[in-house]
Homo-oligomer: A and B are copies of this chain.
């Protein structure tokens, strides 16, 4: 490695970046993300401005405009990207939200609420007195717990990120 010395300049090794994009996208896909959406998302994430046009995404990923369109629709729906249209330009820009992970977890909560409802019906079908019924109800309470606690956890993340370092409160996860 002698010809391309881009270690200290603001010129990232594009090849290494591309490798990272594919790898992290694969990680996310593993975790239940649609594949193309994962790739598009990571591409935006590694862009210097945190925003890309559809054309840039299609070009850098080597995929069709249609694929990008579908992916950004998904990503906007789950709250990881926002669409921006600058007045002077015809191109939309897709930008990562600054509190993207907060948003992602917020959507999770909706899902949890739905699951709780399903479980309620299950408890009713089995009978609350049965062993199976009470097992199911414990599961419901677990999801309820998550639905209540995850937003709190996200608030703590926000606080740590924004205020951070200086005030190490060690009472972080206490129940009053």
The answer on a CB contact under 8 Å between B12 and A118 is no
Given contacts A131-B50, A135-B50, contact A161 B141 (CB under 8 A): yes
Report copies per complex: 2
Closest residue of chain B to A175 (Cβ to Cβ) is B156
User: Contact partner of A20 among B31, B101, B118, B144, CB < 8 A?
Assistant: B118
Report if A63 contacts B (CB, 8 A). Answer: no
Closest residue of chain B to A13 (Cβ to Cβ) is B125
Q: For chain A residues 12-48, which have a beta carbon within 8 Å of chain B? A: 12-13, 16-17, 19-20, 23-24, 27-28, 30-32, 45-48
What are 25 A-B pairs at a CB distance below 8 A? A10-B127, A12-B126, A12-B127, A12-B133, A20-B118, A20-B121, A24-B115, A24-B118, A24-B119, A27-B115, A30-B111, A31-B115, A46-B122, A46-B126, A46-B132, A48-B130, A49-B131, A50-B135, A101-B142, A138-B161, A142-B157, A144-B172, A144-B173, A145-B160, A153-B153
Report if A59 contacts B (CB, 8 A). Answer: no
